[in-house]
Amino acid sequence: MKFTKMQGLGNDYVYVDCTKEELATPSDIAKAVSDRHFGIGSDGLILIKPSKVADFYMEMYNADGSRSAMCGNGIRCVGKYVYDFGLTDKLDVSIETAAGIKYLNLRLLATAASLNRLGAGPFVSESRARRETDEIIKKLNVKAASRNIAISHLSGGNQQKVILGRWLLNDPAVLLLDEPTRGIDVGAKYEIYKIISRLAQSGKIIIMASSEMPELLGICNRILVMSGGRLAGEADAATATQEQIMSLAAKYV
């Protein structure tokens, strides 16, 4: 079972995409995955399914396996899930629940990682969100017709910039980047590299996981090599060779 665990303002749920395939015995699975000692640990299980009357159907189970009608924090994560995983490119999404059809506006997703900075409690300053979104678009050179365009309509490189920009709005001291240039063209890679270099020069700590050798040798200071799920060794990027790194990568295979 493929799943995603998401947390929304205090409630954490396990989310499963059931738009193409049903999940058997969801009540039993909800109890198993929700166990915080022997399972994944969550407040419950949320299945995202097709709907005949809305864009999606949200089927929700509590941690004890009982059915639940709806959860505001849970449905907000459903909106982020269907958008981020490409199940929709709509910015206004309807979600059918046991408590009726709910409507989500996804236009603030560019600032989704920093909503706590954009208002008080459940209220968000749209003017500030627009202003900060425009700043990120300019700073990262995102090529988009407007701030309201769906991220799925952008090129791969610009999608990566938007995702990176979401977290930069929080001004983090440490950034963990997992394959930041996978699947994008050479020109877009170069722009991402420049952004990463600028962040490092500004004092940010960048921890990057990558399977691309030139990328590792070109922009890293230190390279830790994993092999068979274990740390195989460390290399100085300034003097390391591809042969040295490949040798470490094969150490525990």
pLDDT for residue 119 is more than 80: no
DSSP state of 121: T
Residue 235 has a pLDDT of 93
Q: Please write the tens of the pLDDT for every residue from 174-216.
A: 999 998 888 788 888 888 899 899 999 999 999 999 988 888 9
Q: Are the beta carbons of 244 and 250 closer than 8 angstroms?
A: no
Backbone angles phi, psi at 162, to 5 degrees: -60, -45
**pLDDT digits 0-9 by tens, 34-78:** 999 999 999 999 999 999 999 999 999 999 999 999 888 899 899
The percent of residues in the chain predicted with pLDDT above 90, rounded, is 48
Tell me, what's the pLDDT at 118?
58
What is the reported pLDDT for 226?
93
DSSP letter assigned to residue 112: G
What is the three-class DSSP state of 56? Answer: strand
Q: Per-residue pLDDT averaged across 2-8, rounded?
A: 88
Confidence of residue 112 (pLDDT cuts 50, 70, 90): low
Biggest CA pair distance of the chain: 61
Mean pLDDT is lowest, of 1-15, 45-59, 117-131, for 117-131
Average pLDDT for residues 85-92, to the nearest whole number?
Answer: 84
Mean pLDDT across 101-119: 65
Q: What is the pLDDT of residue 223?
A: 95
Kind of pairing between the strands at 205-209 and 174-178 = parallel
* pTM of the predicted model as reported, rounded to 2 decimal places: 0.54
Token readout for 225 is 């090599």
**How far from chain centre, in Å, is Cα 172?**
16
Give the pairing of strands 44-49 and 56-62: antiparallel
Q: Is the pLDDT of residue 225 over 60?
A: yes
Q: Compute the average pLDDT of residues 118-129.
A: 61
Q: Would you place residue 12 in the very low, low, confident or very high pLDDT band (cuts 50, 70, 90)?
A: very high
Q: What b-and-e string marks burial along 190-226, b requiring 16 or more CB atoms within 10 Å of the CB? A: ebbeebbeebbeeeeebebebeeeebbbebbeebebe
Orientation of helix 186-201 relative to helix 156-168, angle to 10°? 20
Q: Among 59, 40, 39, which Cα is nearest to 51's?
A: 59
Using only C-alpha atoms, the chain has a radius of gyration, in whole angstroms, of: 21
